[in-house]
Structure 1
Amino acid sequence: MAINGIQFQKGLSLSAFLREYGTEAQCEEAFIKARWPCGFICPCCAHDKAYEFKRRALRYRQCGSCRHQTSLRAGTVMEHGRLPLTKWYLAIYLVTQSKTNIAALALMRQLGVSWKAAWLLKHKLMEVMAQREADRPLSGDIRVDDAYLGGERVGKR
């Protein structure tokens, strides 16, 4: 039997993930690059100059033109959450790497949060992933890994 190419795709190991996203500063830097790859652009007026300031522990940006204030998390799934970015990133990693859908209880243990927080976090991430893929239905050659179709017939040979 030939080796299934899907099964042996390159992935990010947990140790490599923690090296890359292990601190709040690393996660914030990665999030900034993902959110504003060409630098900050005001969501109201599209101006590219902004002033940065901190309020409590959160960093905000204020547009230099219209003075609109926004944060890194505004308009994302993380907007109203109080969890640190390291927990969000680890949750994203665990949810996306789990082959059989990670349980909220396992997520709770891995992240060190309450069951309610883990359940909500998992469902927020699942909803965002479903929305992202909603307009891209599967087509062409589709391969399913570890599928077991059919079964034994009782009383038949």
Structure 2
Amino acid sequence: MAINSIQFQKGLSMSEFIVRYGREGQCEAAFIQARWPNGFCCPRCQARTASQFRRGGLLTWQCGHCPHQTSLISGTMMEHSRLPFTKWFLAIYLITQSKTNIAALTLRRQLGISWRAAWLLKHKIMEAMRQREATKPLQGDVRIDDAYLGGELTGGRAGRGSDNKVPFVAALEVHNGKPMRVRFDPVKNFSFAALKPWASIALAPDCTVTSDGLLGFEVVERLGFAHRVVIAPKGKAGTEIEPFRWLNVVLGNLKTALSGTHHAFNFRKYAGRYLAESQYRFNRRFDLAA
């Protein structure tokens, strides 16, 4: 069997990570470079001259044009956090390098912090992933399907009407028959009204959409997208036909990763973050080291 070059890529080893980011000063310097690659820029007036000092150990700038003061972490997901940069960097490394998902309890053990701190840390990182992915529409050949996150509650409504199920649109960008990028977007339901804002954000203007004929997906035609309908047979055979095979593989991997990592979480409240975490990693799988 041929070796999958994506799965067998070198990535960034733990030992290499420690060499690069094992000390607080290294992480601080990397964060400064990432935030201001062309030098400090005042967030209030965009001036580039500033004096630099430390307040409570935190690097802070005072603009030379206006009196505004900006700490290194203000306006970022690290704002108000008391954790050192080394903990943040290690958490980001563990979450992004994992093939599946990593639970807050595991982060707690790996980082040596409280469960509450680990939970907040993970959710801040997932929210940053969600915001990052939200602005990147899919292009070209796009396959879409309706999907649900969560199972049925004992004694509750069954099927798609279950109170514990969160609907989301799974969309896959395909190049030459191979999956490239994916989007998992929670929606209120699969009506025209609910899918219209999704399509406007998730799909680039020139893409061609393939769906299984779900009535709500006709909204893509109303918005001017090219739309191809392929009616899939029922059962397992419907998941293996060419237009939807890769999409169903990706969905299967997503649900396996979530159920195998998390015993329970609030689907209604946090579905977008957990879906974005898997989406973020999938879309960057070609260069794990970065």
TM-score by length of 1: 0.88
Corresponding position: 1:135 with 2:145: no
Give structure 1 stretches of 5+ with no counterpart.
Answer: 150-157
110-119 or 6-15: bigger deviation: 6-15
Q: Which has the larger radius of gyration?
A: 2
Which protein has the bigger strand share? Answer: 2
- In structure 2, how many angstroms separate the alpha carbons of the residues matched to 1:36 and 1:24? 18
Q: Per-residue CA shift, 1:38-62, capped at 9, x if unaligned?
A: 1111111111110011112112100
Distance apart, 1:116 and its partner CA: 0.7
Distance apart, 1:5 and its partner CA: 2.0
Which residue matches 1:108? 108
Which residue matches 1:46? 46
- How many residues align? The count is 147
Give structure 2 stretches of 5+ with no counterpart.
Answer: 139-172, 181-245, 253-290
Question: Identical aligned pairs, as a percentage?
Answer: 65
Which residue matches 1:154? none
Which protein has the bigger helix share? Answer: 2
Which residue matches 1:59? 59
Q: Per-residue CA shift, 1:105-146, capped at 9, x if unaligned?
A: 1100000000111111111111111110112244233167xx
- In structure 2, how many angstroms separate the alpha carbons of the residues matched to 1:70 and 1:41? 10
Give the superposed CA RMSD: 1.6
Corresponding position: 1:120 with 2:120: yes
91-100 or 130-139: bigger deviation: 130-139
With CA pairs under 8 Å and 6+ residues apart, which has the higher RCO, 1 or 2? 2
Deviation >3 Å, runs of 4+: none
